[in-house]
Amino acid sequence: MHQAAHTSVQKKRRRGHSGLTGLFATIGEAAGSLGKNKVRTSLATLGIIIGIGSVITVVAMGEGAQRRVQREISAMGDDWMFIGSWGIQRQGVQTGAGASATMTTDDALAVMQQCSHVRAATPSNRITMQVSSSFANYQTSVQGVFANFFDIRRWPASEGRNFTQEDDDSLAKVCCIGQTAARELFGSVNPVGETIRANRVPFKIVGLLAGKGRSSDGRDYDDCIIFPFRSFQTKLAGQEKSGTMLAAAKQGVPMPLVREQVRQVLRERHHLGPNEADDFRIFDLAENAAVQEETAEVFRQLLLVIASVSLVVGGVGIMNIMLVSVTERTREIGLRMAIGANPPTIMGQFLVEAVLLCCLGGIVGVLAGVGVSRILETYKGWETVVTTWSISVSVVFSLLVGIFFGFYPAWRASRLDPIDALRFE
């Protein structure tokens, strides 16, 4: 009994070895057949190469756009809002007894005191102004805000410190400077402790702000200098009033809830009646961030669909080439059947040829897609991110295309009658 079991195991091993040998032999025959028609093989794989290359490039562009949006959201934050009166049409008529075209300091204080969902609020006044240092002159954006601005924007100092509420209360002539403005005014010198002059008034730099980068529209967040609000209003703004207010939500509070609470407080302060329109606008950063992410995702999916269509077209091209190959090799198929090849063997040979074509095209297409992505990033400045999953999916998809579009020609070849095939001219 033990000897019989041993013999059975040996037979199974021989069958497995024979199966692997047969598979390798089929692959070798398929590769040899494809090698005999190099031009046709190249043309057949061209569609797959273009399709896979397009998929890799499109996914890389989409991932790059997605990361750019995420970086911008991270830099801007999504738990705060702008409040201002830009774009309001009043037709020269004041809409309420206390209505004005600006967000006042008292409005910001009222929002902080009366809105339970708001963690911080600040008036904001921004002007473009020529600023000088002992090294250079530079025109940049100067802004006056409360000290809680740095909490609202989640903007720490990378060197030195942020100015404080005590600095604001004492009208201290201090400021914090962004990375770009610091580079233009001081070069490689650490700006902390240095003095700048704005409107001929000296201000000491107490902090170099951490880098925020650029927005998707090219705006440089770091090209700025931030001043305590009261110092800014008295020494730099002149007749320019604060036109904007910033307010940030407490952690975990939905932005729509915060928005409505702020709106009700401001309407009450501006003495607006039930039928009167708001004399201010609220721009919700969370809503904008969601729209940006959704737009980037739609863009990526659209491009991916277009690239997938080109891949399917490449698969149809391979099926056509394989059908022509079956027709040209009809006598060969008949001869192989006459000497003992069964239909599954014939079908396997042509199916392996189709799969080899697609895998070859898939590998070259991946290399082409990675190369095009690098070229776009290097020479066009487009951010691209080639992901491992996109390469894996592309290779697997090319394999499935080979099986799907190679099945019919392979099945057709296996169904030929040996006698009719030998008579074929």
End position of a domain, from candidates 258, 279, 300: 279
> Is residue 7 situated within a structural domain?
no
In this predicted model, what pLDDT tens digit does every residue of 352-398 receive, in sequence order?
777 777 788 888 888 998 999 889 888 877 888 888 877 887 778 77
Residue % of the chain over a pLDDT of 70: 75
Q: What is the end-to-end Cα distance of the chain in Å, rounded?
A: 58
Cα torsion angle, 254, 260, 261, 263, sign:
positive
Q: Do residues 232 and 366 both lie within one domain?
A: no
160 phi-psi bin (left φ>0, alpha ψ -120 to 50, beta other): left
With respect to residue 4, please indicate whether it lies within any of the assigned structural domains: no
Tell me if 20 is assigned to some domain. Answer: no
The residue behind tokens 């090294």 is: 135
Report whether pLDDT(98) > 50: no
Domain of 400 in residue numbering reads as 25-71+291-423
* Residues 37 and 60 placed together within one structural domain of the fold: yes
pLDDT, average across residues 83-98: 54
Round the CA-based radius of gyration of the chain to a whole number and report it: 35
Is 76 a member of any domain?
no
- Tell me which of 388 and 86 has the higher pLDDT: 388
Residue 119 has pLDDT above 60, yes or no: yes
Q: Are residues 96 and 58 in the same domain?
A: no
User: Is 14 a domain residue?
Assistant: no
Total domains present in the chain: 2
Same-domain status, 125 and 259: yes
Q: How far apart are CA 186 and CA 140, in angstroms?
A: 14
Assess whether 298 and 237 both reside in one domain: no
Which residue, 249, 279, 309, sits at the end of a domain?
279
List alpha helices for 118-237, DSSP H: 149-152, 165-169, 179-186, 229-232
Regarding whether 182 and 98 lie in a shared domain, the answer is yes
- What is the pLDDT at residue 198? 94
Do 248 and 135 lie in one domain? The reply is: yes
The tokens for 243 are 């036109």
Query: Element (H or E) spanning 132, and its range?
Result: strand 118-132
Residue 133 within any structural domain of the chain: yes
Is the pLDDT reported for residue 17 higher than 60?
no
Question: Is residue 403 within 8 Å of 355, Cβ to Cβ?
Answer: yes
- For Cα atoms 332, 333, 334, give the angle at the middle one, nearest 5 degrees: 90
Q: Does position 101 have pLDDT exceeding 70, yes or no? A: no
What would the pLDDT profile of 280-325 be if each residue is shown by its tens digit?
Answer: 888 876 666 666 667 767 776 776 676 667 667 777 777 777 777 7
Q: Helix (H) and strand (E) counts for the chain? A: 13, 10
pLDDT at 165 over 90: yes
- Quick one: pLDDT at residue 275? 87
Task: Please indicate, yes or no, if residue 317 is contained in any of the structural domains.
Answer: yes
Residue 147 and residue 236 in one domain: yes
Q: Is the pTM of this model over 0.75?
A: no
Check whether residue 246 and residue 102 sit in a common domain.
yes
The candidate with the shortest Cα–Cα distance to 52, out of 382, 377, 359, is: 359
Question: Does 9 fall in a domain?
Answer: no
Do 116 and 259 belong together in one domain?
Answer: yes
Q: Which of 219, 249, 279 is the endpoint of a domain?
A: 279
- Give percent of the chain above pLDDT 90: 29
Q: Are residues 63 and 108 in the same domain?
A: no
Judgement on whether residues 225 and 301 belong to the same structural domain of the protein: no
Lowest mean pLDDT among 2-16, 29-43, 125-139, 231-245: 2-16
The single-letter code of the amino acid at 114 is Q
Residue 332 β-bridge partners: none
Q: Is the CB of residue 150 less than 8 Å from the CB of residue 162?
A: yes
Q: Tell me how far apart the alpha carbons of residues 253 and 259 are, in angstroms, rounded to a whole number.
A: 10
The token pair that represents 219 in the structure block:
């705006």
